Copies of this chain bind each other. A is one copy, B any other.
């Protein structure tokens, strides 16, 4: 039975935020019990695979959220420019203007990656390919679109690190705004040309 006395989605969100703050290794079960209010018994009942299982579910929930919020819109929206703008808005909201990190990217940095390699790889491939798809439908050449997509994702991840390192979230917002303008300008130029 799945008659649990707590909201699984809420708990997954809380655990995700712990991973964001302390990293995978730095997030102890003691911290998780303190934040969620659940005992270890409840946690292991809900997540039989322990901490690794929790991380997997957190990553999957991020994937689901991203799919609904911008992967699918990028792949199917009638107006590609709107979809790109929507992606930047979603990213800004999700990353709280640079205060919050991208957990998938964070896990990719050290050997935490090796434990979730396929999930991480799929996530970034999907992001790149859905954005490439969108830019292509806007009239850009596929090779150019792929390059732009990779540069956009790198821009998000890099500006996040830079903003955190300099303790200045405006750095993140400005960097994202420039990249957004770069894409929309190119798309609008194609729109006028076509």
Contacts and interface: CB of A to CB of B under 8 A. Distances in A.
Contacts of A159: 150, 154, 158
A25 B153 CA distance: 27
A138 interface: no
Contacts of A10: none
Nearest to A21: B111
Interface in A16-41: 20-26
Contacts of A162: 124, 150, 153-154, 157
A93 interface: no
Interface stretch (A45-53, A76-84, A163-171): A163-171
19 contacts: A21-B110, A21-B111, A23-B110, A24-B26, A25-B26, A26-B112, A101-B109, A106-B110, A108-B164, A108-B165, A109-B164, A117-B167, A147-B174, A150-B175, A154-B155, A154-B159, A154-B161, A155-B155, A157-B161
Interface of A: 20-26, 101, 104-106, 108-113, 117, 120-121, 123-125, 128, 147, 150-151, 153-159, 161-162, 164-167, 171, 174-175, 178
